[in-house]
Every structure is written in structure tokens, then in C-alpha cells.
Structure 1
């Protein structure tokens, strides 16, 4: 009798990165560094899938193997919902749609703020949600440290039932007075 354990493929642990419809080369470049990829691999992630949007920086594709991280990328998808569902960790730009879709799915999330955007209210939303421990918050230059230090067990699940705190936050950003 042969050992059937040889046939079992290790479970995929996918890190999905999304920049939305914008150009966010700084995030894609940060993900393409050896230090970030090695840390993700050390933490047991097997695949890195990057949605690079309108960016011009092309990450290095890698097949993986020998405990290293497989890396792939694409520009756009009609829906990122399937990628979000299959991900073990999501690293996203600070778009509210991407943030709330990921939180609704209960996926661990690191939000990376695009500092090139002027008047970026998205960063305030990401910071507030990070303060409430629903996600991690980073800038492209701090991403490697956040990945190294993150403790996904400390994330507090986001329950969308009570939107009042978020609505108040959005109203404050828009300049409406608190009730």
C-alpha cells in the first residue's frame, strides 16, 4: 500500500491585492518586494494575486514551488467578488466599496492609502475602521512592517447591522453637523 498523503495538495492560502479602477503603482511595487513576499510566505500564504488596475508597473510573475509564494496578476475583472471570497487575506486600496465588501465577507484586510490622491477622505475612513480594530491600515512604505507585525486574531469582526457610527463619520467628512 502506498502512502496516500503524497497525493494531498496543501491548501491554497491566497493573498488578493486590489487597487480598484485607479493607478496605484506604489501598492503594486510594495507587494512586489522580496521582503513582503518572503513574510507572506513565512506566514503560510501560498499565492499572491494582484489586481493592478490602470497601473504601469508590472509585478514579477512567479510559479511558486519549494515553499515560495506563487505570484500572478491581472488588470481588471468584471467582478472581484470571487477573488475576495477565495482570499485568506485581502490587501486593498482605500476605496469604500472594496473595504466594505471585504469586511462583509469577514476577510482579514489591510487597507493601503494612496497618498497621491488629493483630498483623500478615504484615508480617514480607513483610519477610523483601523482604530476600531476591523482592519489594518498602511501606507505603501509601511506595508512590509504591517505584514510582519499583523496579528489577524486581534481583528474585530465588522457587523454591518448598525451603520450609525459609519454614517456619522461620513456625514462629518461631508461637513454635516452631528445630530
Structure 2
């Protein structure tokens, strides 16, 4: 194996996404020393944070013990590459982000935005966590979830197109189509 392959393999990315939402509580949570230390302890080398419309800017300095590189961006035309290159996804509870991550077979921690009214996303995230497809956390419990999670305990989400499921959920809840 060549040197470039070895360097590529040694990069382990935790990707955080807030989708198109404003979710500063999640960005603040991943920017804490506790979360950065848990990620580093699990072998992560990079933390990539999509901050969306949020106003909180994460600290790009090296975290914890000087070993976790932190980068952030607001929006991307496609987060698919960030999802594919990550070893762990920490996401808001949007159904699109959840099902895209599960489709790619990536370990997923969904962080529920408790500031949203009529938060149907909580029910979706908790149901999928109960079925052992993902882990569910709140911003204030994220570091504990990361510390106790065992990604090997997750069950693959049955393959198939999740769009009809998401569409039914949105119709049931009275949301307009995208």
C-alpha cells in the first residue's frame, strides 16, 4: 500500500450537519471540549461542521489535546461527498439527512432540536433509535451519547427508497411537498 493510501486511511472524519436549518445548539454542542475529547478518544482526526444559517462560529483551533482538526462551512450544493467521506455523522433530525445517511450505511447520531414547535422529528429519531438504526441525543447529552455509543450495535437500515416514507410522514403531518 502506498504512502498516500495510508495517509488517507488514517484520516477519520466526524461530519456534523444542520441541513438548511438554524441549529446553533448543535454547533455549540460539538464545539465543546467534552465532545471533541470523546471524538478524539474514538479515533477521530477531523471534525467537519456544516453550520447552515446559524450565527455561532465554531473554534477552528485544534481541540482537546491538539489532535482534532476542526473545519466548518455554511452551505454546500451537495453534502453527499461529506457524508460519503465521513466515519460518523452527527445530524439534525431532518428526515432527508437521516435517510440519506442511513442509505449510505454510516453510523449516525441524531441530535434533536428541542426549540422547534410540534417537533415530529423527535418521534422519527426516537423510533429509529429504538430500532437500533441510529443513536439519538439532545445537544446537552451529546458528549454522553458519544462516550457510550457502540457503532457495532447498530443495525443496517433496510435498503430501499426512503423518499416515499418521508413523503408519507410529511403528508400525515400536513407539511407541503418540497
Q: Is residue 49–residue 73 contact of structure 2 (8 Å, CA) maintained in 1?
A: yes
Structure 2 matches for 1:119-158, cutoff 5 A?
119-158=118-157
1:21 aligns with 2:23: no
Deviation readout 1:156-176 (Å, 9 max, x if unpaired)? 00013397xx57x8389549x
Match of 1:103 in 2: 102
Deviation readout 1:75-108 (Å, 9 max, x if unpaired)? 0000000000000000000000000000000000
Distance in 1 separating the partners of 2:104 and 2:13 = 15
Structure 2 matches for 1:23-102, cutoff 5 A?
23-62=22-61, 68-102=67-101
| Count of aligned pairs | 168
RMSD of equivalent CA atoms: 2.6
Distance in 2 separating the partners of 1:99 and 1:13 = 20
Structure whose CA Rg is larger: 1
Q: Is residue 112–residue 138 contact of structure 2 (8 Å, CA) maintained in 1?
A: yes
Distance in 1 separating the partners of 2:57 and 2:64 = 21
Aligned-residue offset at 1:11 = 1.2
Distance in 1 separating the partners of 2:141 and 2:65 = 28
Structure 1: where are the runs of 5+ without partners? none
Structure 2: where are the runs of 5+ without partners? none
If the length of structure 1 is used for normalisation, what is the TM-score?
A: 0.85
Distance in 2 separating the partners of 1:53 and 1:18 = 8
